[in-house]
Structure 1
Amino acid sequence: MSVSVAIVGRPNVGKSTLFNRLVGKKLALVDDTPGVTRDRREGEGRIGDLTFTLIDTAGYEDADDATLEGRMRQQTEAAIQEADVILMMIDARAGVTPMDEHFAKLLRKAGKKVTLLANKVEGRAA
């Protein structure tokens, strides 16, 4: 049985960078501009001897379904439903934002195992 792991969070917190690192190649676009990832992307993740299906998602934004951001949100919500485990990533420099709190409430309702990842903590400024 393969475990499915979704990486979720606001735009530009580092989800695609982590995805690429865990799959061992650059399958997902990485850019400083928020919103580059627009669809789910899947790959085989690996940590030591453990392998799993990894899902990279678009940044979660609360937007109308008819907009691009709304369709991106729907793709993220679908990944949450499909995943066995959720990795919720935040930008630690920004702290927990109102959007992070909103998203966390949605994840609690999904009833999945969630691990919080604090990213962007390297360097003296962090």
Structure 2
Amino acid sequence: VGRIGSTLFRLLDTAGVDGSKLLHLTGGGSDTKHPPMERAMIRQTQQAALDADLVLLMFDARLGITYDLEEVIRWLRKLDSRGISFEEDVDADEATASARHVLILANKLEGDRWTDEDDSPVMEHLREISRVGFGKPVPISAEHGEGI
């Protein structure tokens, strides 16, 4: 837990925890396939998202929407004010952002070379992520501190 001014925040890095594991663990029941540390990390991530007013979801804009990212987006859409709902499968085109705000951070966008060509893969990835229901992505470069 950190503090900036009067704002408390929790920073979680789930790199390496894929979306299919996240959804499997949220389905209830016991999970003995994954190591205890991994299960604890995923549950901590889930709880942080449940407690948050704002979720920052960072993705690699050079790769676009991967299967894992798609699963995490689907899971975030299922969050509502009462917690997690697993009853209905939310279709990507029908979903809207919940009361919880999700901000998409499009990482690995150093400089402005990526804006030069409108038909570049990066620009297509940005258009694609804009259609998932959480608004336009914020371009950043975490490594170079740009856009932060």
Q: TM-score, normalised by structure 1?
A: 0.55
Count of residue correspondences: 81
Q: Which of the two has higher C-alpha Rg? A: 2
Who is 2:73 aligned against? 104
**2:87 paired with 1:118:** no
Secondary structure of the 1:56 match is coil
User: C-alpha displacement at 1:44, in angstroms?
Assistant: 1.1
Secondary structure of the 2:49 match is helix
Per-residue deviation, residues 48-99 of structure 1 (Å, max 9, x unmatched): xxx5222111314316655122221111001001111111111112111110
Structure 1 stretches (4+) deviating beyond 2 angstroms? 63-66, 123-126
**2:9 paired with 1:54:** yes
Q: Which amino acid aligns with 1:75?
A: Q
Counterpart selection for 1:83 from 18, 33, 52: 52
Who is 2:131 aligned against? none
Q: Which amino acid aligns with 1:43?
A: G
**2:2 paired with 1:43:** yes
Secondary structure of the 2:104 match is strand
Q: Which amino acid aligns with 1:118?
A: A
Cα distance in 2 between the residues matched to 1:52 and 1:118: 23
- CA RMSD, Structure 1 to Structure 2 (Å): 2.3
The answer to whether the 8 Å contact 1:92/1:119 transfers is yes
Secondary structure of the 1:105 match is helix
The answer to whether the 8 Å contact 1:58/1:73 transfers is no
Who is 2:39 aligned against? 70
Q: TM-score, normalised by structure 2?
A: 0.47
Structure 1 segment 27-38 matched on structure 2, within 5 A: none
